[in-house]
Amino acid sequence: MMNVTVISQILWTSIATSSYFVLFAVAFALILKVNKVFNFAQAGMMSCGFYAAYVAVRVLELPGPFGFAAAVAGGAAMAFLLERFGFSVLRHRRASPMFVFIFTIIASQFIAYFMMMIFGTWPTTIFASMFWPVTLVGEVAVSAWDVPAIGATVAVLVGLWAFLRYTRYGQFMIAVADNADLAELYGIRKDRVLMVAMLAAGVIVGIGMFLYGTRAQVQPSAATELMLFAVAATVLGGIGNIWGAALAAVVLGVVQNSSILFIPSAWQGFLLYAFLFFAIVLFPSGFHLPERSKKLKRTVAAPVVATDGKGD
Amino acid sequence: MTSMRLSGIKIGRRAALALALVTATSGFAFAQQTLKFGLAMPLTGGQASYGNDQVKAAQWAVEEINKAGGINGKKFEMVVLDTQADPQVGIQAVNRLISVDKVPAFITAWSGVVKAVAPIANDNKIVELSIGANAPDISKLGDYVYTTFPLADVDIRAVAEYSAKDMGKKKAAVLFINNETGIGSAEVYRDTFVKAGGQVVAYEAYDQKATDFTGPLLKIRASNPEIIHLQGLVSESPQVIAQARQLGITVPITSYSGIYNPKLIEQLGAAAEGVIATSLAPGASDSPAVKAYVDRWMKEAGRPPNGLPYTQYLYDAPYLVAAIFTSLDKKGVPLTGENVRKEMLAIKTFDLPLTGKVTFADDHTVNKPVYLVEVKGGKWTSKAVVNNK
């Protein structure tokens, strides 16, 4: 069974299907880094994004691009509501991190049940058809969904990187992530920055759910299960490391799908969690690549040497 | 005066007490006029689209039984509780049906739930009727657990035999979800296909939470089968078929009654062509009663029910329970689980409106003809009727 075609197909499909997982992981890691919240309510943002696209395309019969815009708007709208009427209120009431964490779980379930009441529990997709035509590249089947999905994910990652690096709010987000109190002393309005981070996460998960919902069936409780993969990737990528989470999501997808070459397919889920178990136990802070800035810090912090050549 | 007034007050109190007693007693007497049974189905969660339609079908039947005079003039009542198709939630629901609602019999479905609640039914001597679940070992769950729905070894056996003998396929691959339903049914298919002279060249399970099926499908493709049997759930089966076609797997795909749904064709388009499913009940073209039933769905819900054959069985279930209750009530025998079981086995054969005759065999199974349907020209068409021996 193991030949170049099979390995290439598994690698390609793993990379293509990890596109939405990367987006879910990045959004989760962003909120963890900036807002310091394990945001399980992200599942609610995901559901809202999906059903907004569903309404646009299936109910209002608008073209696909409107569905995409609706998914983005839906994710962002739910992110706004959660921040404005949830996290912001809890912050001002000085709720403990544990209480905020519990709030995110309750909010995700509340939204799931709310969606269930409106849309029912029948699994559905954004487009009536979930079949995408396939082109053979060599012997590898590449579906018409794969390339746009990978392209959209790369575009989002580049956009996020540019946003964090070159825009004022992006830099404010990094500042708040490093030290929120200090950032406030420098005049950065923390609440506004946290809202921007939530909106960015909402947009990202909206795009992720549009990708997922055009390929597989979704029901209100599906987002919670999809979230677990994002949480796993975030933990593995290093808490608060956005790009580490993205990379971990791809690696996890490839490892899980490639495992079919060595073990029965029924064990794929087991393997994922076994891998996570050992990764967390052995690397509790996630995997870290050597950082150049650390070398710089060591240079700056070198011991002062007396003029006579003796250390003090 | 004072004494009279006092005595008047006393009389008034006594009268009020008597009135309260009469009201309470008549209320009790009225409550006794209601004969209850339970229905534990998924009303929420991933399987609720099926569960709710099945409950609706059963509710229609109860309404019609009551309109026709109930159980010897007494009201027939169905207590409905949610299982979410989850064994743990199912246990809570059934405990409540037995201890709070005091039902002598209850109906449930989904193999995991049916199995989980079986010990409760057996311990309390309450009849559990499994209607829709098809795991083969349901027939071995104890004295109080029966099914009116043919188990997997009926429809899966029929489709496996038909594939090997009538379609002439020699090499089959089996792809199944790694849960109770999938594992048991996959084993039945494998054993039957091999017994019928075929060879199972791939036997692959996928995880219940899988969102991509490339790996197992590639294994199957590498084994070069002539036919694939898919034993999955409605939530992921369309995606499995779509991915199979995308990977260039063009051989016929068989499955069971779970995928017999108009939505599959809408979701897959041309990729659905050649998909074969089973149905364990006659269709609208086979029976005027079924046609009237489907017409009612179209009129009231604007669509056919999700999983039409399952809803037919659920529609028939209250008629079966009502027949047992009526017989016991006529004899003046109390409605206990033990008596319901005895009477059910004594009657043995029931003629039901939408699924025809059902006979309880001694080994707790039932046998029915299996209707095979195939997607052809963008719609489900009748392929064959297989009578299991």
Q: A41-71, pLDDT tens digit by residue?
A: 999 999 999 999 999 999 999 999 999 999 9
Interface contacts (A, B; CB < 8 Å)? 114
Long-range Cβ contact pairs of B65-73 (< 8 A, separation 24 or more): B65/B318, B65/B319, B65/B322, B70/B35, B71/B35, B71/B322, B71/B325, B71/B326, B71/B329, B72/B326, B72/B329, B72/B330
List CB contacts (< 8 A) between A215 and chain B.
239
Which ipTM value was assigned to this complex?
0.77
Q: Which residue of B has its CA nearest to A15?
A: B212
pLDDT for position A28: 96
Partner-chain contact B205 A264, CB within 8 Å? yes
Q: Are the C-beta atoms of B212 and B185 separated by less than 8 Å?
A: no
pLDDT (tens digit per residue) in A61-115: 999 999 999 999 999 999 999 999 999 999 999 999 999 999 999 999 999 989 9
Q: Which domains does chain B have, with CATH numbers?
A: 36-150+288-354 (3.40.50.2300), 153-279+371-386 (3.40.50.2300)
Partner-chain contact A1 B218, CB within 8 Å? yes
Mean pLDDT over each residue of chain A, to the nearest integer: 87
Mutate to test the interface with A, among B218, B223, B253, B306 (most CBs of A within 10 A): B218
Instruction: Using the predicted structure, report yes or no on whether residue A300 has a pLDDT greater than 60.
Output: no
pLDDT for position A117: 80
Q: Which domains does chain A have, with CATH numbers?
A: 4-300 (1.10.3470)
Q: How far is A265 from chain B (nearest CA, A)?
A: 5
List CB contacts (< 8 A) between A132 and chain B.
242, 246
Separation CA B131–CA B111 (nearest Å):
10
Determine contact: A217 vs chain B, CB below 8 A: yes
pLDDT (tens digit per residue) in B229-251: 999 988 889 999 999 999 999 99
Partner-chain contact B222 A6, CB within 8 Å? yes
Confidence band, pLDDT 50/70/90 cuts, at residue A240: confident
Kindly state the average pLDDT of the residues B337-341.
Answer: 97
Of the partner residues B235, B246, B268, the one whose CB lies closest to the CB of residue A143:
B246
Separation CA B55–CA B373 (nearest Å):
25
List CB contacts (< 8 A) between B212 and chain A.
13-14, 17, 257
Kindly state the average pLDDT of the residues A195-216.
Answer: 96
Determine contact: B351 vs chain A, CB below 8 A: no
For chain B, give the secondary structure using H, E and C. CHHHHHHHHHHHHHHHHHHHHHHHHHHHHHHHCEEEEEEEECCCCCCHHHHHHHHHHHHHHHHHHHHCCCECCEEEEEEEEECCCCHHHHHHHHHHHHHCCCCCEEEECCHHHHHHHHHHHHHHCCEEEECCCCCHHHHHCCCCEEECCCCHHHHHHHHHHHHHHHCCCCEEEEEEECCHHHHHHHHHHHHHHHHCCCEEEEEEEECCCCCCCHHHHHHHHHHCCCEEEEECCCCCHHHHHHHHHHCCCCCCEECCHHHCCHHHHHHHHHHHCCEEEEECCCCCCCCHHHHHHHHHHHHHCCCCCCCHHHHHHHHHHHHHHHHHHHHHHHHCCCCCHHHHHHHHHHHCEEEECCCEEEECCCCCCCCCCEEEEEEECCEEEEEEEECCC
Instruction: Using the predicted structure, report yes or no on whether residue B155 has a pLDDT greater than 60.
Output: yes
pTM of the prediction?
0.73
